[in-house]
Structure 1
Amino acid sequence: MRSFIGLDLSAQDKLALENWREKSLPGLPSSNARTANQPKVPVRQPKPVPAANFHITLCFLGNINDRQHETVIANLDDVTATPFEVTLDMTAFWQGPKILLAAPTAPPASLMSLAASVNSAARQAGIDVERREYRPHVTLIRNTKEDYPPPLFAPQLTCQFSQFHLFESVSTPSGVRYPVKQSWPFRSSHSVREKLQRGHF
């Protein structure tokens, strides 16, 4: 199962970000422009990410087996965090994956701490995750080039988060989908009852 751990933007925030993208990049074709009777857009052309797929990855897991899946879920049960907000107020182009993205200029400490915790949970489950510096972002366009015209103006969207999720990456005839397989609401610490149930006393 090809999976990742991440944050899901609310439906309202997804629509707001899509609306900003349409206004700031007027020449970009709509992510819903192609119909069943139209030819598939060549891979080399810029491809807007559907708003339904907007998310912030915390840890990319890749293809994991059943044992890793079960173990990482158990490990994530112990991850704690408090609700936080992330303001997407800048854009950037990444040469490697050839994407245009939106990101926070100053990622909150709570987000960075959560990312470190879920990465640790994944490694403890025997999953070989990347160890490069974590840079939170939302992918807006794929298959872009370095000389792709920048947005006319930067985004200014503050998103609230109170849970994180385990997503599966599923390829379909209409494109990639990211169904949520399991969710973990943020909590600062386990209650006494939870600790008793988990045998922590």
Structure 2
Amino acid sequence: MRYFIGLDLAPAEKLGLESWREKSLPELPRVKQPGNSKAPVRQARPVPVANFHITLCFLGSITARQLESISQCLDDIAVRPFSLELDSTGYWSGPKIFYAAPTIVPEPLQQLASATESAARRADIAVERRDYQPHVTLIRNVKEDFPPPLFLPAQQCQFNQFHLFESVSTKSGVTYPIRQSWKLRADNSVRERLLRGNL
């Protein structure tokens, strides 16, 4: 079982990002229908719109016990809802991906990423220590000479919950079903902190 903690874009936000991708990258091959994928492995592959997300913490393969533990640890996270704008793009040569990202990373997003990483460690899950770089992967198998977009994205996104996703491989590709969700909430009141045993 492979899992990660992340943010899911709203349907309208996903469609807005897809529309930008089609207009700004006109030579990109269209997403093939499931079961009809005969494209060469090395060809750039657009990520299906349903899979657009922002990873907070990658957990990898975990046991049922670790899954139960991480779920309990995530219950304690209190970060207020936030918004961001996907207004820049980039390319990572290692995983060969082209992505959209925010120029300005909201403080609550940084807090949430840090909190989910801490929760994973408390659940005895080994996670990599690296600078957090939020992004939405748009294209895979990208070569270094991949042409830049004709114009930058400007997709506003609003987040009021985060999720535990499972990475599931199928004959038609990878899917990311949500297995559990948590609401983002401010945790500033003394009463709330007392109820949760944080004082």
TM class, shorter-chain normalised? over 0.9
Segments of structure 1 that go 5 or more residues without pairing to the other structure are none
Q: Secondary structure, in 3 states, of the residue corresponding to 2:38?
A: coil
Q: Hey, what's the Cα distance between the residues in 1 that align with 2:9 and 2:18? A: 12
Q: Secondary structure, in 3 states, of the residue corresponding to 1:89?
A: strand
Q: 2:125 is matched with which residue?
A: 127
1:183 offset after TM fit, Å? Answer: 0.2
Q: Hey, what's the Cα distance between the residues in 1 that align with 2:38 and 2:188? A: 50
Contact 2:187 2:193 in 1 (8 A): no
1:118-197 alignment to 2 at 5 Å? 118-189=116-187, 192=191, 196=195
Contact 1:13 1:157 in 2 (8 A): yes
Contact 1:104 1:136 in 2 (8 A): yes
Q: Hey, what's the Cα distance between the residues in 1 that align with 2:162 and 2:88? A: 23
Structure 1-normalised TM-score? 0.93
Q: 2:10 is matched with which residue?
A: 10
Q: 1:24 is matched with which residue?
A: 24
Deviations 1:59-97 (A, max 9, x none): 000000011100100000000011100110000000110
1:57-96 alignment to 2 at 5 Å? 57-96=55-94
Structure 1 residue identity aligned to 2:167: S
Distance 1:180 1:156, change over 3 A: same
Structure 2 residue identity aligned to 1:8: D
Q: 2:109 is matched with which residue?
A: 111
Percent identity, please: 60
1:171 offset after TM fit, Å? Answer: 0.5
Q: 1:101 is matched with which residue?
A: 99
Q: Hey, what's the Cα distance between the residues in 2 that align with 1:35 and 1:64? A: 28
- What do you get for the CA RMSD once the two structures are aligned? 1.7
Q: Hey, what's the Cα distance between the residues in 2 that align with 1:183 and 1:35? A: 27
1:42 offset after TM fit, Å? Answer: 1.9
Structure 2 residue identity aligned to 1:17: L
Question: Mean alpha-carbon deviation: is it higher for 182-191 or for 46-55?
Answer: 182-191
Contact 1:4 1:166 in 2 (8 A): yes
Contact 2:34 2:173 in 1 (8 A): no
Structure 2 residue identity aligned to 1:158: Q
Distance 1:194 1:105, change over 3 A: closer
- Please list every run of at least 4 consecutive aligned residues from structure 1 whose deviation after the TM superposition is greater than 6 angstroms: none
Q: Secondary structure, in 3 states, of the residue corresponding to 2:29?
A: coil
